[in-house]
């Protein structure tokens, strides 16, 4: 017998909305055209709540909660765009810009970058923190792709797509805190990875210009992500 979905009713920004109990606040907001910024979440991949950009306020709770991993509950009252949230989001983005070396004007993803678009949408004109200017490597050893750690924001989309969709688990994260970085295999050059299938999914889910196709010049890297929900759906149907 087909299971009847349990529906929860809630308020987002004062609007009365409903969602299924297995849905997150972000899912319901998205279905109803309410914008909540995010960089690590991606439809078709498991959610990790890493970027903290989707934090929302929930009435009765002191803590801000990430909308991508918080399930809807009956009677929930959510605010997604208070002045406090907006200033936190700008701060998070500014910190991301200072953490490594993001130079939009000469980046392969200029004009097509999720982080750049978000910064523009949130009205960031200046970064108020000192830049760290770390010395980061570029690994161009792969035949077709390049990873530029200068532009990586550690969203781990590449790690998840490689593991969950491609099943190769070439990517992972090494180190802790500010030392953390994404690696291929056991921190070997990407070009000598034995697990990489050269499928390119990681490149296309990457929100910035950290992963790109070799031979792309400035502003030329367009990412195509339509494949992901489609692949996930086909797999579910086959199960």
Partner 1 sequence: MKQESTIVIDPVTRIEGHSKITLHLNEDGRVEDARFHVTQFRGFEKLCEGRPFYEMPSLMARICGICPVSHLIASAKACDSLLAVRIPPTADKLRRIFGLAQVTQSHALSLFHLSSPDLLLGMDADPAKSNIFGVAEANKELALDGIRLRQFGQKIIERLGGKRIHPAWVVPGGVSEPLSEANRDAILQSLPEALAIAERTLEWFKGTMEQFREEISTFGNFPTMFMGIVKKDNGLTFYGGKLRIVDASGHVVADDLDPTQYDDYIGEKVEPWSYLKSAYYKPKGFPDGVYRVGPLARLNVADRCGTPRADQELAEFHELQRTAVLSSFHYHHARLIEILYCIERLEQLLNDSEILSKHVRAVARPNALEGVGACEAPRGTLFHHYKIDEQGLIRWVNLIIATGHNNLAMNRSVLQVAKHFVHGRRLTPGMLNRVEAVIRCYDPCLSCSTHAWGQMPLRIQLVSPEGEVVDEVARA
Contact set for partner 1, span 143-162 (CB under 8 A): 146, 148
Binding of partner 1 by 92 (CB under 8 A): no
Q: How far is the CB of 165 from partner 1 (least distance, A)?
A: 27
Q: How far is the CB of 197 from partner 1 (least distance, A)?
A: 20
Binding of partner 1 by 188 (CB under 8 A): no
Residue among 207 and 209 whose Cβ is closer to partner 1: 209
Per rule CB under 8 A, count of chain residues that contact partner 1: 18
Residue in 79, 141, 195, 232 binding partner 1, rule: CB under 8 A: 141
Sign of CA dihedral 203, 181, 162, 39: negative
Q: Nearest to residue 103, comparing CAs of 152, 151, 155, 148? A: 151
Residue 208 and residue 100: Cα distance in Å, rounded? 12
Residue 29 and residue 51: Cα distance in Å, rounded? 18
What is the torsion angle, in degrees rounded to the nearest 10, for the CA atoms of residue 116, residue 191, residue 188 and residue 223? 20
Contact set for partner 1, span 19-78 (CB under 8 A): none
Pattern 99-138, partner 1, x by CB under 8 A: ------xx-x-x--------------------------xx
Q: Nearest to residue 69, comparing CAs of 41, 93, 91, 32? A: 41
Residue among 72 and 113 whose Cβ is closer to partner 1: 113
Residue 35 and residue 28: Cα distance in Å, rounded? 11
Q: Decide: helix, strand or coil at residue 228.
A: helix
- Which residues are near partner 1 by CB under 8 A? 105-106, 108, 110, 137-138, 140-141, 146, 148, 191, 214-220
């Amino acid at each position: 017998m087909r299971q009847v979905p349990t529906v929860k009713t809630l308020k987002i920004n004062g609007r009365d909305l409903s969602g299924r109990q297995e849905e997150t606040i972000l899912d319901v907001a998205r279905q109803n055209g309410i914008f909540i910024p995010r960089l690590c979440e991606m439809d078709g991949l498991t959610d990790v709540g890493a970027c903290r950009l989707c934090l929302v306020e929930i009435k009765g709770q002191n803590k801000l909660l990430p909308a991508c991993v918080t399930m809807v509950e009956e009677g929930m009252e959510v605010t997604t765009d208070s002045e406090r949230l907006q200033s936190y989001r700008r701060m998070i983005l500014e910190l991301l810009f200072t953490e490594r070396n993001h130079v939009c004007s000469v980046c392969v993803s200029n004009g097509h970058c999720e982080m750049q678009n978000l910064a523009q949408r949130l009205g960031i004109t200046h970064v108020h923190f000192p830049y760290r200017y770390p010395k980061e490597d570029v690994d161009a050893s792969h035949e077709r792709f390049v990873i530029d750690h200068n532009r990586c924001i550690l969203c781990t989309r590449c790690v998840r797509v490689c593991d969950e969709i491609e099943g190769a688990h070439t990517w992972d994260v090494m180190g802790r805190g500010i030392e953390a970085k994404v690696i291929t295999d056991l921190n070997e050059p990407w070009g000598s990875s034995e697990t990489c299938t050269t499928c390119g999914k990681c490149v296309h889910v990457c929100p910035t210009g950290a992963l790109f196709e070799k031979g792309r010049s400035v502003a030329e890297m367009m990412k195509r992500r339509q494949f992901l929900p489609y692949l996930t759906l086909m797999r579910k149907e086959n199960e």
